[in-house]
């Protein structure tokens, strides 16, 4: 097995590209794919201040490392959100902190339990929402807020090709027009929301894992224990089976959608702009008196009072189920 570029011994085969690569050229391939995505979708400009949503897993740490290694002058900080999911969160936080401290990088941290009085397992139960729903809502809200407060040019997430294709697959199976309209690797800034970019959309998760191993990045290998039963995992497994039979299909599915079908759904985009007000509790954009996150905090407090001895900020809220930002997971 020889590297396609230099003919030295290869360390990885990438079936999608029908090629093998040595360490140096695999790392270069990953960086080149990120540059290609950034340019194709006009995600970032040289010198941008970028906030990376860091989970401690392979994708977000690879993304942070790649953005810094491109030499395009990006100023990249990380944001770690403590979800309070037992040992999984403890270990995730350790990986994120170690990555940052080893490299002298700035890692911001928000801890759900100490700062907002609930964690995902207890809060979801109390709010009667599936864990991933409360978690997704909390992440969107707190990442947006941190990017806004820190005046970053963009918020970058580590969603890779496997993630995006699986979400697309799920949305196509149910013809979720509104979500399909928003399923782009970049969402422009506006109405109080930061620009959101997904620079890893041209890399699969096997590639981000290999990138981390080759770059000596120690990441959280365990999957979140609350993911069990998550539909997204089923869609991923189905696409993995298709990809094993026919390498390149996942890429063709996702990029074919962006090239040839995404525009067809534009009209179904729900405008989050006009009429958007400000949350009376936290000051974030909201289409009601209080934003969805603050409603979640209020509902999650039901259980919190029994389980945690923390100060509770009381706000008058309506307990509706309306989404305030329209951003799917």
Instruction: Pick one of Zn ion, ligand Q46, none as the site partner of residue 22 (Cβ within 5 to 8 A by kind).
Output: Zn ion
Kindly report the backbone phi and psi dihedral angles of residue 170, in degrees, each rounded to the nearest multiple of 5, phi listed first: -60, -40
Smallest distance from the beta carbon of 20 to Zn ion, in angstroms?
A: 9
Looking at beta carbons only, is 6 or 233 nearer to ligand Q46? Answer: 233
H helices, E strands: number in the chain: 11, 10
Crossing angle of helices 86-103 and 58-69, rounded to 10°: 10
Residues 6+ apart with CB under 8 A from 196: 154, 155, 156, 157, 186, 187, 327
Looking at beta carbons only, is 79 or 120 nearer to ligand Q46? Answer: 120
Instruction: Pick one of ligand Q46, Zn ion, none as the site partner of residue 224 (Cβ within 5 to 8 A by kind).
Output: ligand Q46
Task: Output the CA torsion 217→114→144→87 (10° steps).
Answer: 30
Q: Does 294 bind Zn ion (CB under 5 A)?
A: yes
Position among 1, 2, 6, 266 found at the interface with Zn ion (CB under 5 A) = 6
9 bridge partner residues? 2
Smallest distance from the beta carbon of 202 to ligand Q46, in angstroms?
A: 20
Euclidean distance between CA atoms 304 and 296, whole angstroms: 12
Euclidean distance between CA atoms 11 and 327, whole angstroms: 38
Smallest distance from the beta carbon of 136 to ligand Q46, in angstroms?
A: 5
Position among 12, 14, 20, 22 found at the interface with Zn ion (CB under 5 A) = 22
Residues 6+ apart with CB under 8 A from 286: 276, 277, 278, 279, 292, 294, 324
Look at the chain and count its residues: 329
Chain residues in the site for ligand Q46 (CB under 6 A): 120, 131-132, 135-136, 224, 226-227, 230
Residue 103's closest CA among 221, 220, 215?
A: 215
Instruction: Pick one of ligand Q46, Zn ion, none as the site partner of residue 135 (Cβ within 5 to 8 A by kind).
Output: ligand Q46
Instruction: Pick one of Zn ion, ligand Q46, none as the site partner of residue 25 (Cβ within 5 to 8 A by kind).
Output: Zn ion
Site stretch for Zn ion (CB under 5 A), options 5-13, 40-48, 196-204, 267-275 = 5-13
Instruction: Pick one of ligand Q46, Zn ion, none as the site partner of residue 166 (Cβ within 5 to 8 A by kind).
Output: none
Where do runs of H (alpha helix) occur along 70-130? Answer: 86-103, 120-127
Smallest distance from the beta carbon of 306 to Zn ion, in angstroms?
A: 24
Q: DSSP states of 25-55 as a string?
A: HHHHHHHHHHHHHHHHTT---TT-EEEEEE-
Instruction: Pick one of Zn ion, ligand Q46, none as the site partner of residue 136 (Cβ within 5 to 8 A by kind).
Output: ligand Q46
Looking at beta carbons only, is 22 or 107 nearer to Zn ion? Answer: 22
Smallest distance from the beta carbon of 266 to Zn ion, in angstroms?
A: 29
Looking at beta carbons only, is 156 or 296 nearer to Zn ion? Answer: 296
Smallest distance from the beta carbon of 219 to ligand Q46, in angstroms?
A: 14
Looking at beta carbons only, is 186 or 296 nearer to Zn ion? Answer: 296
Q: Which two tokens stand for residue 329?
A: 């997971």
Q: Which residues bind Zn ion (CB under 5 A)?
A: 3, 5-6, 22, 25, 279, 281-282, 284, 291, 294
């Amino acid at each position: 097995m020889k590297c396609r570029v230099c003919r030295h011994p290869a360390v990885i085969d990438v079936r999608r590209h029908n090629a093998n690569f040595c360490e140096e050229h695999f790392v270069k391939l990953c960086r080149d794919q990120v540059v290609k995505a950034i340019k194709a979708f006009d995600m970032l400009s040289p010198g941008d201040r970028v906030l990376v949503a860091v989970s401690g897993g392979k994708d977000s740490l690879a993304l942070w490392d790649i953005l810094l290694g491109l030499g395009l002058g990006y100023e990249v900080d990380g944001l770690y959100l403590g979800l309070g999911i037992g040992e999984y969160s403890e270990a995730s936080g350790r990986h994120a902190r170690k990555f940052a401290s080893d490299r002298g990088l700035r890692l911001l941290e928000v801890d759900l339990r100490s700062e907002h009085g609930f964690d995902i397992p207890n809060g979801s139960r109390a709010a009667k929402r599936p864990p991933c729903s409360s978690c997704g809502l909390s992440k969107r809200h707190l990442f947006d807020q941190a990017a806004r407060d820190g005046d970053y040019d963009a918020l970058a997430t580590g969603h890779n090709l496997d993630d995006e294709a699986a979400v697309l697959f799920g949305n196509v199976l149910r013809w979720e027009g509104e979500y399909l309209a928003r399923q782009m690797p970049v969402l422009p800034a506006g109405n109080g929301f930061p620009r959101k970019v997904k620079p890893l959309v041209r890399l699969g998760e096997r590639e981000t894992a290999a990138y981390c191993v080759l770059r000596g990045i120690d990441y959280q290998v365990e999957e979140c224990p609350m993911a069990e039963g998550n539909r997204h995992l089923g869609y991923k497994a189905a696409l993995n089976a298709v990809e094993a039979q026919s390498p390149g299909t996942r890429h063709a599915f996702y990029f074919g959608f962006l090239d040839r079908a995404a525009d067809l759904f534009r009209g179904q985009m729900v405008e989050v702009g006009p009429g958007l007000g400000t949350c009376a509790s936290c000051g974030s954009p909201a289409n009601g008196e209080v934003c969805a996150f603050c409603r979640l905090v209020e509902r999650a407090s039901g259980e919190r009072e029994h389980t945690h001895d923390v100060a509770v900020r009381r706000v008058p809220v309506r307990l509706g189920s309306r989404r305030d930002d329209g951003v799917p997971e």
